[in-house]
Structures are given as C-alpha cells and as structure tokens.
Amino acid sequence: MSAPEPDWPRLPKPAFGDPCNSCGLCCLSGQCPISLGAFGEQAVCPALRPDGEQMRCGLMLEPAVYLGTPAWSDGPLREAIKLMLASGVGCDAGRDFDEAASARMMRDARERVAIASLEAKLMFNLFTERREVPLG
C-alpha cells in the first residue's frame, strides 16, 4: 500500500455541505474514529489510498484486507462503515462550517441509519422466518 504523496490533496475541498469529491483533506488532516479504533494512532491513516486525483477509504472498500475479517463479511461491514462515516451525505470537514448544511446532513445521516435498521430487521425476520422483531 503506497503512502500518500506529499502534494495531496490534489482536488480543492468543496464547500461544507456540498457533495464529497474524495479530495481526502479530512483523512489527511487526521484519523477518523474508525481508523483510530482499527489502527491506533498513526501519522496517516494506513487505509487512505490515492486513486488518481482522489483519495479512497480502503477500510470501506475492502474491510477484510485491513481488519483481517473473512471476505464474506465485506458486504455488511462495508455498509456499516459507510453508515458510521455518514458517507454520501456531503462534505462535513473544513473551517467553512455551515449550521444549516450541518443540520441537513445530520437529518440525512439519521434517515440512512433508520432505513438500514429497517432493512436489517426485515432480513433478520426473513432469514429466521420469524416475525418477532418489530419493524417500527
């Protein structure tokens, strides 16, 4: 795994709340809680992967490679990591904090968790042929 080159980030960070362009500035500025839990304190997160002009989260792409977990668990782990990182709600890093954008991203993140929770309960009921987990 090659370490990020010193001239990162190569893409300008979007405005707070705008869609993430994977510039990587947030990860280069410091490890996220998941990275700290998985790797302990490091100079740069070992899962940060350069990809052209962008930076990717290897932990989200290939959890098994970094966590030593079985490959079959990559799908659910990936989804769990996405939820924990609130991936897809927008850029929540930088000094241009915006209260309205932050509130919107929090709402989006909560909705995603609620939907994932409902999906998990449906799957549980389906696979166990039970109807014991309330869907509400």
The footprint of ligand SF4 (CB under 6 A) covers 13-14, 20-27, 31-32, 34-35, 45, 47-48, 57, 59, 85, 91, 93
Q: Which is nearer to ligand SF4, 39 or 120 (CB)?
A: 39
Q: Which is nearer to ligand SF4, 53 or 111 (CB)?
A: 53
Amino acid (1-letter code) at residue 26: C
Q: Which is nearer to ligand SF4, 50 or 121 (CB)?
A: 50
Find the shortest distance in angstroms from Cβ 29 to ligand SF4: 8
Find the shortest distance in angstroms from Cβ 132 to ligand SF4: 35
Find the shortest distance in angstroms from Cβ 94 to ligand SF4: 6
Q: Which is nearer to ligand SF4, 24 or 78 (CB)?
A: 24
Q: Give CA–CA dist 71/83, Å, rounded.
A: 19
Q: Which is nearer to ligand SF4, 4 or 125 (CB)?
A: 4
Find the shortest distance in angstroms from Cβ 120 to ligand SF4: 22
CB atoms within 10 A of CB 123: 12
Q: How far is CA 133 from the centre of its chain?
A: 27
Find the shortest distance in angstroms from Cβ 91 to ligand SF4: 3
